Amino acid sequence: MRQPDYRTPHIGIDSVEHQSRLLELWEGEGGLKGFLGTVDHKKIGIRYIVTALILLVFGGLEALIMRLQLAGPNGTLLNPEQYDQLFSTHGMTMIFLYALPILSGFSNYLWPLVLGGRDMAFPRLNAFSYWIYLFSAIFLYVGFLTGNGPNDGWFNYVPYASRDYNPGLNEDFYSLGMIFLGISVTAGAANFIVTAFRTRAPGMSLNRLPMIIWGTLTANAANLVVIPAVSLAFFLLWMDRQYGTHFFDTSGNGQPLLWQHLFWIFGHPWVYAIVLPAMSFVSDGLPVFCRRPLVGYPYVALSTVATMILGFGVWVHHMFATGLPGLGMSFFSAASFVIVLPSAVAVFAWLATIWLGRPVITTAFLYFSSMILMFVIGGVSGFMTAAVPTDWQLTDTYFVVAHIHYVLIGINVFPVLGAVYYWFPKMSGKLMDERLGRWNFWITFIGFNLAFLPMHLTGLFGMPRRVYTYADGMGWDTLNLITTIGSFVLAVGVLLFVINVLKSLKSGAPAGPNPWDAPGLEWSTPSPPPPYNFAVIPTVASRTPLWENRLGESGVVSSVDRGMLLSQGKESIGSSAVDAEPDMILHMPEDSVAPFLLAIGATVLFVGMLLKVWFVIGIGVVLIALGTLLWLWPRRDLREREPVHG
């Protein structure tokens, strides 16, 4: 029987019968098959968040061991090789396995809820990107736990990483693991882009998008085009190491600086990719606790995009000490200065929001607002190193280490912890303990600043980074001891956070749909939201759908309990890219194990490449081909094909 190609959706109101019908359509299977096959963005989002937080703890433990070694001069806890692997694995874990995946987790969970949709554009791709993330993290950690962790820093310069100087499997694990992880990031990026442009509730035009969409969309538009640079760099390195090519090796006319260019063409946009979404959490969350909309929304949105665009043109500031021509360096130096402007727009918008609002001091507010302070400190130290002469003085010292930690802990970890306090009630239906939250915040905040503020001085006093120990009498002893004490205080803060999450999950007070009286669409759903998110597709009339009655600005009001029912299958709404006019009814896929099988195939392939066993590589390729065919086979329930001979 031919299915209809066009339909006028029924408009109706939310009702119990309608909800039970939707639940039947949307609720996935239980059991192992349901576990491996789920495509629900909320489950996938939580998996991302939990996995990334576990990896944050791993990376933190690695840091604590290093800080014990460095607490005093002439430390003997670690030998140089162990120290090399620890600091490299710490960087790899925090920057690649924690910092982006945690943000993707929040965005995965929240995007359809803030956009008024029922799932991401490509739910199976979403599941796939999670499995690849998990398996690549395991792959990289198998390397570390078998003594084959990366040992050349997270940015892994040649020739240290070349086989002549690094004969073990360490760099092969790292190279292949990073290519593997890149697949996950790219798949996620594609999904975010199409979701943002094509699956918004009616009325959610570009000028009404929540900031989390701007931040994550911008970051992932960049990821889509810069991930290939780092994947290629690691692939070429692996070829140099295993197949005798000469990309980075001067003996065959190769160019070692090519590594640095490819790495930083990726690396600097990546720095923005792991902070812009976190900044957008603040832009969405902070105003809720200031009881007013974000000041300067269009400027903050545009500055997000502008930061990213400028961010493509600053990578050479990581290479000022490599002897590049002066004219080129001055260009990249200037671009690095200019990027201060859009960053400042965001800072002043947040400050104005607090100034003009009536702040309610919650733990989430403390995390969001303290981030502004640390962003300024990290921004200023970055601004200093944008000047070529200053950079020459400070490069490869602890000053740069202090800078990167202000940026990554200040602008990523703090907003993320704030985001947990803010959205945990939505995800779990429980409130977190505010009293424990204060202890958690203040200990984290004091520990962090105690550890890293003095580290600027350590660097100015000339202590080089990446040394496994140092002699006494250099003037670094006290500063290092303070940093070590601060890092343990910070760890206690994180421990309190974990305790608060577990305790609140078990015995937190019920949250209700909107415990913060927040304006976003996600707060119009029950906590936790049902599998279908919205019983009716909402219609959006402003940036703050749940605050319209009291703001009384627009004269029209969004509708959250009356709208398109879309219950003749697992349906959601597709919309036009700019104005979010409804333009198609989407048929969403059921649970599927194809993404899991495909990820297993990819794992087999990468293990085969690591071991250089063609038979295993062959099995991996066949599994991937079969998984892809199973996945893409045109299906009638997705309206991808006609009934045969019908």
Q: Which of the residues 580 through 609 are near other proteins (CB under 8 A)?
A: 581-587
Does 510 bind other proteins (CB under 8 A)? Our answer is: no
- Angstrom distance (rounded) from CA 72 to CA 616: 48
**Alpha-carbon span 609 to 603, nearest angstrom:** 10
For other proteins, the binding residue among 243, 325, 358, 473 (CB under 8 A) is 243
Looking at 306-314, 423-431, 465-473, 624-632, which segment touches other proteins (CB under 8 A)?
A: 624-632
The interface region with other proteins, picked from 306-314, 408-416, 456-464, 554-562 by CB under 8 A, is 554-562
**For other proteins, the closer CB: 250 or 478:** 250
Number of residues located near other proteins, criterion CB under 8 A? 77
Query: Least distance from C-beta 151 to other proteins, angstroms?
Result: 25
CA-to-CA dists, residue 72 to 77, 343, 398, 405, 642, angstroms: 11, 37, 16, 21, 72
Residue 574 DSSP SS3:
strand
Q: Are the beta carbons of 551 and 543 closer than 8 angstroms?
A: no
Amino acid at 398: Y
Shortest distance (Å) from residue 7 CB to other proteins = 5
Contact between residue 571 and residue 587 where contact means Cβ atoms under 8 Å apart: yes
Write the interaction track for other proteins spanning residues 180-199; mark x where CB under 8 A is met and - where it is not: ------x--xx--xx--xxx
At 332, the amino acid letter reads F
Are 503 and 433 a contacting pair, CB within 8 Å? yes
Give the residue from 483, 417, 490 showing the smallest Cα distance to 447. Answer: 490
Which residue in the set 142, 169, 309, 638 belongs to the binding site for other proteins (CB under 8 A)? Answer: 638
Binding span for other proteins by CB under 8 A among 105-113, 139-147, 224-232, 390-398 = 224-232
d(CA 592, CA 28): 10
- Burial (Cβ within 10 Å: 0-12, 13-18, ≥19) of residue 150: buried
Q: Least separation, in Å, of the C-beta of 473 and other proteins?
A: 43
* Binding flag, residue 419, other proteins (CB under 8 A): no
> Which residue of 57, 206, 232, 481 would you call a contact of other proteins, by CB under 8 A?
232
- Least distance CB 183 / other proteins (angstroms): 10
Q: Is 537 in the site for other proteins (CB under 8 A)?
A: yes
Q: Quick one: which segment of 211-219, 337-345, 430-438, 627-635 binds other proteins (CB under 8 A)?
A: 627-635
Sole residue written with tokens 């349901």: 34
557 is an interface residue for other proteins by CB under 8 A: yes
Q: Which string of x and - marks every residue 422-451 that binds other proteins (by CB under 8 A)? A: ------------------------------
Cβ-contact 281, 419 below 8 angstroms: yes
For residues 276 and 311, give the distance between their C-alpha atoms in angstroms, rounded to a whole number. 11
556 near other proteins, judged by CB under 8 A: yes
465 interacts with other proteins by CB under 8 A: no
What residues numbered 75-134 form the site for other proteins, per CB under 8 A?
121-122, 125
158 near other proteins, rule: CB under 8 A: no
Give the residue with the Cβ less far from other proteins, 144 or 259. Answer: 259
**Cα–Cα distance between 398 and 384 in angstroms, integer?**
14
Least Cβ distance, residue 481 to other proteins (angstroms) = 44
Closest distance to other proteins from the beta carbon of 447 (Å): 40
Q: Which is nearer to other proteins, 295 or 585 (CB)?
A: 585
Contact status: 314 vs other proteins (CB under 8 A): no
User: What is the pattern of x (binds other proteins, CB under 8 A) and - over residues 247-286?
Assistant: x-x--xxxx-xx--xx--x---------------------
Angstrom CA distances, 432 to 259, 429, 497, stand at: 46, 10, 10
CA–CA separation, 173 vs 500, rounded Å?
A: 36
For residues 5-24, which are near other proteins according to CB under 8 A?
5-9, 11
206, with CB counted inside 10 A (0-12, 13-18, 19+), is: middle
Q: Which residue number, 98 or 238, has a Cβ lying nearer to other proteins?
A: 238
DSSP state letters, 116-156: T-SS-S-HHHHHHHHHHHHHHHHHHHHHHHTT----STTTT
